[in-house]
Amino acid sequence: MTIAAVGDPANSRLAVIETHALGKVYSEGTEAEVIALKGVELKIHRGEFVAIMGPSGSGKSTLMNLVGCLDKPSSGSYLCDGVDVATLDAEARALLRRDKIGFVFQGFNLLPRMSALENVAMPLGYANVPREERLQRAHAAMTAVGLGTREGHRPSELSGGQQQRVAIARALINRPPILLADEPTGALDSRTGEEILTLFKQLQADDHTVVLITHDPDVAQHCDRIFVMRDGELHEQPGFGMGDSGLGHPRS
């Protein structure tokens, strides 16, 4: 728990992702210097489903890596579920990432020789969680994504949409509040992409915060809010969703 107490009406409006003047420069001070992010102000509340759009090279993945605690900003600040990430060393950042963030990518990155269930259990590691519990939790995650009957299948025996659902189950295994998805429907046909979006909405209803990078305006329309990245600057698309009040949800 951070600032607001349980039962406090403000609690449901706590920002889980909050950046101020966030900047990222690669190869700073060299000829190869790239200013990838400039002054990004982003505030996302618990239970929101937001899209980030923008052309290739505009800084979307850079922002995702920072929000996902995979990288450190060059300037500005980031509060991840109330924790100032700049105050953490690499080890503490890795722990925060494990507890708070689930990642989903365009390529599903499943291990081909393992069953779907084993892939989902992977992030639990071998040392920390007993085998029985690992399998039980992986089973629950597989059921949550509607694949309870496909656990023994290898990735190659599953469709693209099913593989992505396995990847989502794997992202959920540590029960992180934040789910970050970088082009998760990019490799899927539109009908299968819709299924994945439906799944994200179910996860949102289950109190997950979902941040989705997409090139596809039809995909972005499913979200509460849309941000557009241009040349490292992030702008919220006006007149869409609920603005930045953080109050209520437009979905019914």
3-state secondary structure of 93: helix
Distance CA 85, CA 206 (A): 26
Residue 163 interface partner, choices ligand ADP, Mg ion, none, CB cut-off 5-8 Å depending on type: none
Q: Does 106 bind ligand ADP (CB under 6 A)?
A: no
Asked if 214 is part of the footprint of Mg ion (rule: CB under 5 A), the reply reads no
Residue 185, contacted partner among Mg ion, ligand ADP, none, CB below 5-8 A by kind: none
Give the shortest CB-58-to-Mg ion separation in angstroms. 9
Q: Which listed option, Mg ion, ligand ADP, none, makes contact with residue 62 (CB within 5 to 8 Å by class)?
A: ligand ADP
CB of 136 to Mg ion, least distance (A): 35
Regarding 162 and contact with Mg ion (CB under 5 A), the answer is: no
The long-range contacts involving 172-175, CB below 8 angstroms and separated by at least 24 positions, are 172/102, 172/141, 172/144, 172/145, 172/203, 173/102, 173/120, 173/121, 173/122, 173/123, 173/124, 173/137, 173/138, 173/141, 174/98, 174/99, 174/102, 174/123, 174/124
DSSP designation for 237 = P
Select from 19, 61, 204, 214 the one that contacts Mg ion (CB under 5 A): 61
Binding of residue 62 to ligand ADP (CB under 6 A): yes
Interface residue list for ligand ADP (CB under 6 A): 26-27, 34, 36, 54, 56-62
